[in-house]
Amino acid sequence: MRLSVLDQSPIPQGGGATAAIAETIKLAQAAEKLGYYRYWLAEHHNTHSFAGSAPEILIGRVAAETRTIRVGSGGVMLTHYSPLKVAEQFRMLEVLSPGRIDLGLGRAPGTDQRTMQALQAGPQGWGIDAFPSQVHLLKQFLDDASGVAAMPDDHPYRGIHAMPEGPTRPEMWLLGSGMHSAIYAGELGLPFSHAYFINTEGSEEACAEYRRRFKPSSWCEHPRISLGVAALVAETDEEAHRLSASRNLWVVRLLTNRPISFPPPDEALDYPYTEQELAILKSVEKRSIVGTKEQVRMRLLALADSHGAEELVVVTITYDYASRLRSYELLADAFALKAEAAR
């Protein structure tokens, strides 16, 4: 079982983006030493909760500060952007760190409607319905640049190359939290990463449909599934649940359109939840796995087995960096990651 990290560069209450990005770099270096397989960086816009608005830039820095761990996007929200520009960004990253770059693609906006409009070059953006066409065009640009397959003779963009060219290409994944993304990933012949930490409903069905629809390609010969999972590990079950209160309250406030920064756990535990908020809280708690390393390992393995996943991409958010790092250390110990990486 491969374990990887999804880092959203969280900003705690009273903190700032500069410190959050510095912690991202430190955590990536620690994850590499602990034996995690890949380190993905998220994309969020117009939020005071996350500092990661440009994964394509942060990937370059994290890759430069590490040596062996794969580094990538979890993910690039392709509906905002030109496929050629994304191809060139990741071609450059691949040249700088050959064999270590992942291009995870998402179709969600990663922000609110007005910010989504501001991100696009004009009023005639691609739109979410064009996502499969964007992914297909992006694949063509990357195939052409790596010498796998030239653009067809009748292609309107034949002769336009995603530079710099090179012999290797990033590993491409399709990310999603529902059935549409699973179908797209299968039909396009790409690995699929299901965002279980966002949506648990129908997750097993989505993974099964992905396998059913899968068409082998030069990008992926057989179905590959990873699960994005929210997990938090501490020395005791009580402490793990105390630490989880920060993220839980943040999610509840986000879902009720009253966003806040990540609060200290004791402040979150003292929050006066309404009946409506308590109902939402129960749903939020079901989407994360919290406890001791033995408890979390057992639940993660069961989750991977029920979905047919070969990899878990773990997102852990706590109010302070030390407890977040400790969670990843305990999880690595539970799965004997360093021992596995040394083989």
Is the separation of the CB atoms in 196 and 202 below 8 Å?
no
> Which domains does the chain possess?
1-176 (3.20.20.30), 228-306+314-343 (no CATH)
Angstrom distance (rounded) from CA 54 to CA 172? 18
Neighbour-count burial of 343, counting CB atoms closer than 10 A to its CB (0-12 exposed, 13-18 middle, 19+ buried): exposed
Task: Read off the tokens for 87.
Answer: 């191809």
Question: Which range among 9-23, 62-76, 131-145, 321-335 shows the weakest confidence by mean pLDDT?
Answer: 131-145
For 251, list phi and psi in degrees, rounded to 5.
Answer: -65, -45
Q: Is the pLDDT of residue 179 over 60?
A: yes
CA atoms 253, 258, 260, 264: torsion sign: negative
Q: Which pLDDT belongs to residue 147? A: 87
Beta bridge partners of 38: 70
In a 3-state reduction of DSSP, which class is residue 286? helix
Q: Is the pLDDT of residue 127 over 80?
A: no
For the residues 42-55, what does the mean pLDDT come to?
93
Angstrom distance (rounded) from CA 275 to CA 315? 28
- Contacts within 8 Å (CB) and 24+ apart, 151-158: 157/84
Amino acid at 175: L
DSSP labels, 201-239: TTHHHHHHHHHHH----SS-SS--EEEEEEEEE-SSHHH
- How far apart are the two ends of the chain, measured CA to CA in Å? 14
How confident is residue 123, by pLDDT bands cut at 50, 70 and 90? very low
DSSP labels, 296-328: HHHHHHHHHHHHT-SEEEEE---SSHHHHHHHH
Is the separation of the CB atoms in 93 and 101 below 8 Å?
yes
Angstrom distance (rounded) from CA 236 to CA 228? 24
Q: Which pLDDT belongs to residue 149? A: 87
291: left (phi over 0), alpha (psi -120 to 50) or beta: left
What is the overall mean pLDDT for the chain? 93
Q: Which pLDDT belongs to residue 112? A: 72
For the residues 209-238, what does the mean pLDDT come to?
97
Neighbour-count burial of 154, counting CB atoms closer than 10 A to its CB (0-12 exposed, 13-18 middle, 19+ buried): exposed
Name the pTM for this structure: 0.92
How confident is residue 122, by pLDDT bands cut at 50, 70 and 90? very low
Q: Which pLDDT belongs to residue 12? A: 96
Percent of the chain with pLDDT over 70: 93
How confident is residue 146, by pLDDT bands cut at 50, 70 and 90? confident
Q: Is the pLDDT of residue 296 over 60?
A: yes
Task: Read off the tokens for 97.
Answer: 């760190």
Is the separation of the CB atoms in 80 and 112 below 8 Å?
no
* Burial annotation 129-147 (CB, 10 A radius, 16+ → b, else e): eebeebbebbbbbbbbbbe
pLDDT per residue as tens digits for the range 107-121:
876 667 677 666 665
Q: Is the pLDDT of residue 124 over 60?
A: no
Measured at the alpha carbon of residue 76, what is the angle toward residues 110 and 101, in degrees to the nearest 5?
150
